Structure 1
Amino acid sequence: MSTYIPLGKNPASPEERKKLIGEKVCRDESLENDELARVQSRTLDFLMFQKGYCKIDLQEKVLFKIELPDASFDALADIVITLNGRRFILVKCAVNSPASWERYSVAFCRVADVYQIPYAVVTDGEDAKLLDAVRGRPISEGLESIPSKDEAIELFGKTEFMPFPAQKAEREKRILFAFDTIKYSSLLVEPE
């Protein structure tokens, strides 16, 4: 079954249809990117003004090179909270369905760096879920559950930074690759 895509007019040819669909995809992506930028900005403000982090503690849009036997790709971290020179909390900002990004965030934390990033937060700017990335379990929900800088420093002192087991790493990398492929698949689909 085909999906109706409103294009604003009936295309006169397949070429015009392809052009109109491409323009619509660009507009939709631009709107989503604008909303994602707003979520990231609200989250950064919240972390600095409500949770006590300094700008130097927060890295934005950090690229990690992920290597698989048959492919390599870049995985983007929206925000990474760094303490004492170590990446400590990954923050994934999502425009919609933040819960669908939980597994991605856990996989990201496990294999993006030489050690596991211990914690992940998935947020839409209104709500958040804190995850124990090492164990792959949720810890708490709500923006207030995100550790303050003081709480993070206390947690940091109790945290052992360990690499993810090599024999399990490829599976986690493939999860990241699948999300990455799905995320960009709309750009690759040719109209009929």
Structure 2
Amino acid sequence: MSTPKSHHLVYGTLKDYLTGEELIDTDDERIRQHISMLLVEKRGFAKENLIPRLTIETLFAQSFVTSKIDITILHNNKQALILRYGPGSLVSRERSAIAAARVLNPDYQIPFAVVTNGKDAELLDTRSGKILGYGLESIPYCDTLSTLVDNAVFSDPLTGVKKERELRILNAFDVERCCL
């Protein structure tokens, strides 16, 4: 089986800011690395509380999709917020981020999500689907997230039809499409 051609410019490799792992160097990956640095150096998160590149795999209608969660933030050893990066419009990424936060953890629903294109961001309440903040400044500081988490509900995990619905949303929104 041949490897599909990427539509991204590849500059070589780079060292992951959080893990030291060698990654393919693309424009998108450079933005992800910048976001990681922002979270540690400006927002006050410890590197060990930032988990990069978790995935959720789905298969519906003969379409296998691997959805990537760019960064998952831990608070008191609980996954409290997911961050998903993608170029372009944020509104088109809100629903899939909410779906991912609702199904990523098998023990509870993650209460917050951030969607960002590297220039703008939105902070989302994943229980209600409401936008809590706009702009890069809406990416919470460590102490702000602590306050948010103290008042948040970590809902029971979804099961059955409700879980399948969220997985279908992820599958539909995250299917790989060429952007050329």
Query: What TM-score do the two structures reach when normalised by structure 1?
Result: 0.73
Aligned to 2:73: 81
Aligned to 2:7: 28
Higher CA-based Rg = 1
Aligned pairs for 1:151-190 (under 5 A) are: 151-166=144-159, 167-181=161-175, 183=176, 185-186=177-178
Give the letter aligned to residue 62 of structure 1.
Answer: L
Consecutive unaligned residues of structure 1, counting only runs of 5 or more, are: 1-21, 187-192
Q: Are the counterparts in 1 of residues 59 and 171 from structure 2 also a CA contact under 8 Å?
A: no
Q: Are the counterparts in 1 of residues 123 and 138 from structure 2 also a CA contact under 8 Å?
A: yes
Q: CA deviation at 1:71?
A: 7.8
More helix by share: 1
Instruction: Give the Cα separation in 2 of the matches to 1:28 and 1:70.
Output: 23
More strand by share: 2
Give the letter aligned to residue 86 of structure 1.
Answer: K
Count of residue pairs brought into register by the alignment: 161
Q: CA deviation at 1:73?
A: 5.1
Selected match of 2:124 from 128, 131, 154: 131
Q: Are the counterparts in 2 of residues 65 and 112 from structure 1 also a CA contact under 8 Å?
A: no
Tell me the alpha carbon deviations over residues 14-53 of structure 1, each in whole angstroms, 9 at most, x when there is no partner.
xxxxxxxx9xx8352345x712101101111111111111
Q: CA deviation at 1:165?
A: 4.0
Taking only the aligned residue pairs, the percentage that are identical comes to: 31
Tell me the alpha carbon deviations over residues 103-138 of structure 1, each in whole angstroms, 9 at most, x when there is no partner.
110111111212111111011122111011111111
- Pair 1:169–1:35, CA change in 2 (3 A): same
- Pair 1:123–1:90, CA change in 2 (3 A): same
Q: CA deviation at 1:98?
A: 2.7
Q: CA deviation at 1:75?
A: 2.5
Consecutive unaligned residues of structure 2, counting only runs of 5 or more, are: 11-24
Instruction: Give the Cα separation in 2 of the matches to 1:153 and 1:85.
Output: 12
Instruction: Give the Cα separation in 1 of the matches to 2:128 and 2:62.
Output: 28
